[in-house]
Amino acid sequence: MTDGERLDHLTLVMQASKEEMADEIIRLRRENRELKERLEKEAAKEAERKSHQQRKPIKSRWKKLGAPVGHHGATRSKPDHVDKTIDQYLDACPDCGCRQMGIAPSANQEHIQEDIIPAHVEVTKFIHHGYWCPCCKEVKMAGYAPEEVPYGYLGPNVLILTVRMKYHQGLSYEKIRQFLEGFCGLKVTESALAQALQRIARWLEVEESIVLAAIRASPYVHIDETGWKIAGRGHWLWDFVNLRVALYKIRRSRGQSVPEEVLTKNYQGHVISDFWSAYNKIGKLRQRCIVHLKREMKRVKELDASQNSQQAYKCLNRILNDAKRLNDRRKEFDAPIFIHRLRLLEHRLFEFATGTFEGKHWQRISARMLKYYREMLTFLKVNGLPSDNNHAERMIRPNVIFRKISFENMSEKGARAHEVLMSLLQTLRLQKMEPSAFFKQAYLAHRQGRPQPLLMLQ
């Protein structure tokens, strides 16, 4: 056996012994915790009640409002063209009434103002002329006009404006109806708008399939979920995102079946997520969100001011900061040295996870580290992989705002429309494309019988 084979064999033995040790530690901790809970159940409840009753100190504002000292002011830039010019003249002096005033061109003052012209409803009649074809021996009809929605009573501009107001501005159908009637003079019911968006979503499902394929082919994907309701029943809205695309799914389940459905069981990319167990078997490698962990560490530090708690916080925080510094200085080290330091960090995490802690909060965190210590430093193993799941939280934020100002969805069709339209809207935003122009072009193309997808992702 060569030296390399002996080293690989020794490494496998050490890893196996660590896994056995971790299982045994978890079992002993579970037994210890159950015994303590039986003896100190009432005392723990009382302590927890008192800790929640304590008011947290109000934090002072972290910086002064307004622009910093020395900041150059910014004014609105002048338009590059003028559509209309209005000249204002004087017939007499406004003070004395003199009518013999001379013109003073050098004293002229210009004032440029931008405004919106109130919209009006434009009614268009499309006449499709018929023609007799002597070769085919049948009547042929003229095709659709560029702006024509087949069998539709609302034009494409109204529909796309409704999509923007509903899923970007987050307005209710009632407010959209009021805006269209008050500002544009178009009378339409709320149910007509809802059904129109559902039809648009059905025609744009072919574009959503492009987003789904891009997510499945992505080298890594951020995943997060938040509560949702369909007709008052509890569901979950999932987001699968990266820096270029965003995909949303609303499902009844919060389990592993949803990521498997979207990414498939054989997904070979890397998954970045929080510590929810539904992600435990998804992806080739997994990166657990360090920001989630640090946020919980800070909260536990504030709840438990004991010396043991403060020491635990310093120890784990030092390990995570060292991992960040190692990632920032990646180019300074040769591969063997970098791998060696990575293994040292994993060993330090394992030692922290197997330590003894008095408080139940740090016992929970250490148990989590014992389970996921290999998945905390994946960003060091894969160059360019983010160490946090902040992007998923930012991309799920528009849905959270939508949830706060609406009743979420009242039907399965409405939920499906939300999935398709929100996925396309956020993907176009990440692609730095104008959503209105694309929605109009794609909807008219598919509605007029051209099924090929138009979405081109970068």
Question: With 50 as the cut, is the pLDDT of residue 373 above it?
Answer: yes
Give 74's pLDDT tier (boundaries 50, 70, 90).
confident
Q: E-strand spans in 184-289?
A: 220-230, 233-241, 246-251, 270-273, 285-288
Give 447's pLDDT tier (boundaries 50, 70, 90).
very high
Least confident of 60-74, 94-108, 113-127, 334-348: 60-74
Question: For residues 190 and 173, is the Cβ–Cβ distance under 8 A?
Answer: yes
- pTM summary value: 0.79
Q: 381-394 pLDDT, tens per residue?
A: 999 999 999 999 99
Question: What are the DSSP calls for 184-222, one per residue?
Answer: H-----HHHHHHHHHHHHHHTHHHHHHHHHHHHT-SEEE
Q: 412-422 pLDDT, tens per residue?
A: 999 999 999 99
* Max CA distance (Å), the chain: 114
In the block, which residue shows the tokens 């927890």? Answer: 48
* Predicted pLDDT at 60: 61
| Mean pLDDT within 315-319 | 94
* Predicted pLDDT at 450: 92
Least confident of 31-35, 262-266, 454-458: 31-35
Give 3's pLDDT tier (boundaries 50, 70, 90).
very low
Question: For residues 273 and 223, is the Cβ–Cβ distance under 8 A?
Answer: yes
Least confident of 29-33, 115-119, 233-237: 29-33
* Predicted pLDDT at 416: 96
* Predicted pLDDT at 175: 93
Give 7's pLDDT tier (boundaries 50, 70, 90).
very low
Label the pairing between strands 270-273 and 220-230: parallel
* Predicted pLDDT at 105: 82
Instruction: Report the C-alpha gap between 427 and 202 in whole angstroms.
Output: 18
Give 304's pLDDT tier (boundaries 50, 70, 90).
confident
* Predicted pLDDT at 114: 87
Q: Percent of the chain beyond pLDDT 90?
A: 60
Q: Percent of the chain beyond pLDDT 70?
A: 92
In the block, which residue shows the tokens 């909260």? Answer: 299
* Predicted pLDDT at 52: 62
Question: For residues 25 and 354, is the Cβ–Cβ distance under 8 A?
Answer: yes
* Predicted pLDDT at 57: 60
Question: With 50 as the cut, is the pLDDT of residue 10 above it?
Answer: no
- Average pLDDT of every residue of the chain: 88
Question: With 90 as the cut, is the pLDDT of residue 64 above it?
Answer: no
More confidently predicted of 437 and 78: 437
Give, as one character, the DSSP assignment of residue 128. Answer: -
